[in-house]
Chains A and B, each alone.
Chain A
């Protein structure tokens, strides 16, 4: 099962969940993902080697996709 979460003031919010072959859930997740990117959020998927990858399209085989706000220098 995949999960799209957003880091926010509540700690984090689960925006969508989907499973393989669940077209309706996947479409809903893609719509939520696109909307968050348009609002300026950055999406990333953690890799097994401890790094993470920025994604601009929702990887439906990922277990968890995290949306975060942009960072800035102090």
Chain B
């Protein structure tokens, strides 16, 4: 059997989720609008009472200030949650830092990951611990426990929580390689398996990322 003769198969992991809607551009646009509506609603329900309180009685400004802090904090916490999906190789939460990990295995895994990538992407992994993959939906930035999706030149970032099902003993580089391969095999299936943890303005995610991840985000958005 030769490679081109093999029928194109989608992700089995996605096929098993028959209760979940298939991912499509249209479904993604709807989800993004829902995230925007949720954020707007959160800001409104705290800012409106704050304005009303101050209008009725200016001396209630401390209570109004508490409302405004909530209007800022709740969307910020959600954006932080999205940003935390991105765990770069070698970062504080990386599997490479776990006790009992093998440095030799980490080197082997990184070597294979490098072989799967082009020159620029390999450099990006070395500098930031994150792998960049161009897809039909946009540019993906892949870490050990999730990925960010963005369209070049646009401000919005989608944060996806997705990982290897059984991570037992896997080196950090292999965790990223697993996600990279699955994404390359079936992009829409990958997005179906992954959970969209946050979608919103890139600057809201960026401020919760480590410096290396910020550089990778900039590279992915400019690409």
Q: Which residues in A have some Cβ–Cβ distance to B below 8 Å?
A: 5, 7-12, 42, 44-47, 50-62, 66, 68-74
Contacts and interface: CB of A to CB of B under 8 A. Distances in A.
B162 A42 contact: no
Contacts of B186: 54
Interface residues of B, number: 51
Chain A at the B interface: mostly helix, strand, loop or mixed?
A: strand
B145 A74 contact: yes
Contacts of B168: 9
Contacts of B181: 44, 52, 66, 68
A44 B3 contact: no
A57 B118 CA distance: 27
Nearest to B163: A74
Contacts, number: 133
Chain B at the A interface: mostly helix, strand, loop or mixed?
A: mixed
B193 A72 contact: yes
Contacts of A56: 6, 9
Given A44-B185, A70-B165, A11 B3 contact: no
A72 B189 CA distance: 11
B85 A74 contact: yes
B134 A50 contact: yes
A10 B108 contact: yes
30 contacts: A7-B112, A7-B177, A8-B169, A9-B170, A9-B171, A10-B104, A10-B105, A11-B104, A11-B111, A12-B108, A44-B184, A50-B118, A50-B133, A52-B184, A53-B8, A54-B186, A55-B3, A55-B9, A56-B9, A58-B1, A59-B1, A59-B6, A61-B3, A66-B181, A68-B182, A71-B182, A73-B194, A73-B195, A74-B161, A74-B162
